């Protein structure tokens, strides 16, 4: 399950926005097939976050009506750091991890490593298991089954490279 608070708070931290602009920025950043946020989720979340003191809204004049532009408070920045710094669980949804990774520039490299390493190690184990399956069973697999397994192995290898790159960035 994608952490909506992380996406909303993170996006507002990048650029203070009113609700419609925020929704547009989220769609452009995270893409429609991956994450959709409707008004029934967005506006109650903004109201809750404002009530909790994570964001503050300021009324600004608009063309037809006033808009409430939200910015992140100090308390909101601290909460965002907590969300981004939460260690990753090995079975985490890949998209959820990518959402978290978008905001890794807000944390130290040391903290980033603590977040990524459990997932990286799990992917290394998953890779070894897949290679062992291929070695042990490939002679009994149909060409289609073998192709699917090889595709899965390449996906795992791409993930390992992605995690490695994230860990090496200064």
Residue 99 lies in a domain: no
Instruction: Report yes or no: 42 and 22 within 8 Å, Cβ to Cβ.
Output: yes
Say whether both 164 and 125 belong to one domain: yes
Q: Is the pLDDT of residue 1 over 60?
A: no
Q: Distance between CA atoms of 159 and 125, rounded to whole angstroms?
A: 12
Where on the phi/psi map is residue 122: left (φ > 0), alpha (ψ -120 to 50), or beta?
Answer: alpha
What is the CATH number for 21? Answer: 1.10.10.10
Q: What is the mean pLDDT of the chain?
A: 90
Residue 90 lies in a domain: no
Residue 96 lies in a domain: no
Last residue in a domain, options 85, 116, 142:
85
What pLDDT shows up at residue 32? 59
Higher per-residue pLDDT: 123 or 89: 123
Enclosing domain of residue 43: 4-85
Question: Considering its fold, how many domains does the chain have in total?
Answer: 2
Residue 77 lies in a domain: yes
In tens, the pLDDT along 15-63 reads 999 999 998 888 888 765 667 788 888 999 999 999 999 999 999 887 8
Question: Would you say the pTM of this structure is higher than 0.85?
Answer: no
Mean pLDDT is lowest, of 4-13, 46-55, 83-92, for 83-92
Assigned token pair, 54: 């994570």
């Amino acid at each position: 399950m994608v952490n909506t608070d992380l996406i909303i708070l993170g996006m507002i931290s990048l650029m203070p926005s009113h609700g419609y602009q925020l929704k547009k920025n989220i769609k452009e950043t995270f893409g429609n097939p991956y994450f959709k946020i409707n008004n029934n989720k967005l506006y109650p979340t903004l109201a809750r976050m404002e009530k909790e003191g994570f964001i503050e809204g300021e009324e600004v004049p608009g063309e037809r009506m006033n808009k409430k532009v939200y910015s992140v408070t100090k308390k909101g920045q601290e909460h965002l750091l907590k969300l981004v710094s939460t260690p990753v669980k090995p079975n985490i949804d890949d998209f959820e991890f990518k959402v978290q990774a978008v905001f890794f520039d807000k944390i130290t490299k040391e903290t980033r490593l603590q977040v990524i390493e459990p997932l990286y190690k799990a992917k290394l184990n998953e890779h070894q298991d897949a290679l062992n399956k291929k070695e042990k069973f490939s002679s009994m697999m149909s060409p289609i089954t073998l192709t699917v397994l090889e595709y899965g192995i390449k996906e795992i290898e791409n993930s390992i490279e992605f995690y490695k790159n994230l860990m090496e960035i200064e």
